Amino acid sequence: MASDLFSLDGKVALVTGGSRGIGKMIAKGFLEAGCRKVYITARKAAACDATAEELGPNCVSIPVDISTVEGCKMLTERYLQHEDKLDILLNNAGAAWGAEFEEYPESGWDKVVDLNMKSPFFLTQALYGTLKASGTHERPAKVINICSIDGIRLNPQETYAYHASKAGLIYLTRRMAARLIRDNIVVSAIAPGAFASDMNRVARDESEMVAKRIPGRRIGTDEDMQGVAIYLASRAGDYVVGETIAVDGGVALAQLGA
């Protein structure tokens, strides 16, 4: 029935970077759409625990730094202490670094690329068995990568590693999707535009100014992000394989002159 298309009843999700910003928005949306449990992870334990407490008893905190392959394996081990299957993996944890071209540091490059592009791959690899155990032809498991419109079009800021990592994640999504669909795991992605968060402080603190540059004349809301994430995670998105959906109020299209 159409009324069941967007239901997540009984599903189990794991959201990285789930203590704040877009990750927190989506974790809350998954719970409201019916998930039995939503596990969130973040580097800062206190923040992760506080968000889980705020979102209620069906949200469980597993604080881990997943910027390394070892961290991805550690998160998997801790998750498997709670569950033996995983229906939805949302790879959201990310970082940004801005500096002028002549001064852009290797440390900033490595931090951003490792967390934004390497971690989604190796965490999905570590959780592959649990995702495969959950998926069927009729109801595949889901991996949703959070990319950015900065991977689609240029931002005037000198965020070299961020641009490169998010563009790379969009194509990595396609490569992973082509392989994992045979195991009943659907991989897709979301490319957010301006949403208020600690990472996008300009959108958070100067929303009216930012909105003037957006064709939709506003920044994104929690519901905008929750809607597309629930769509991809639910039955409604089962046949969407390897695609990246821009959720940006038309910014990327405007740059193309549409």
The domain spans of the chain are 2-39+65-255
Coil, strand or helix: which one is 58? coil
pTM of the model as a whole: 0.94
Four-residue CA torsion sign, 22, 24, 29, 31 = positive
Coil, strand or helix: which one is 66? coil
Q: Of 194, 195, 198, which is closest to residue 47 (Cα–Cα)?
A: 198
Four-residue CA torsion sign, 167, 186, 63, 222 = positive
Distance of CA 115 to the CA centre of its chain: 12
pLDDT of res. 58 = 98
Q: Is the pLDDT of residue 258 over 50?
A: no
- The total number of residues shown for the chain amounts to 258
pLDDT of res. 210 = 63
- Is the model more confident about 212 or about 134? 134
C-alpha–C-alpha distance, residues 167 and 149, integer Å? 9
pLDDT of res. 200 = 61
Q: Is the pLDDT of residue 251 over 90?
A: no
Structure tokens at 133: 């155990």
**b/e per residue 155-178 (b: at least 16 CB within 10 A):** beeebbbbbbbbbbbbebbeebbe
Spot the catalytic one: 79, 128, 162, 231. Answer: 162
C-alpha–C-alpha distance, residues 96 and 116, integer Å? 9
CATH class of 2-39+65-255: alpha beta
Is residue 18 within 8 A of residue 40, CB to CB? The reply is yes
162 is catalytic: yes
30-58: average pLDDT = 98
What is the per-residue pLDDT across 229-246, written as a single tens digit (0 to 9) for each? 999 999 999 999 999 999
Q: How many CB atoms neighbour CB 70 within 10 A?
A: 12
What is the per-residue pLDDT across 129-158, written as a single tens digit (0 to 9) for each? 999 999 999 999 999 999 999 999 988 899
What is the per-residue pLDDT across 157-211, written as a single tens digit (0 to 9) for each? 999 999 999 999 999 999 999 999 999 999 999 999 888 766 665 655 555 666 6
Coil, strand or helix: which one is 244? strand
Is residue 158 within 8 A of residue 101, CB to CB? The reply is yes
Structure tokens at 248: 């940006």
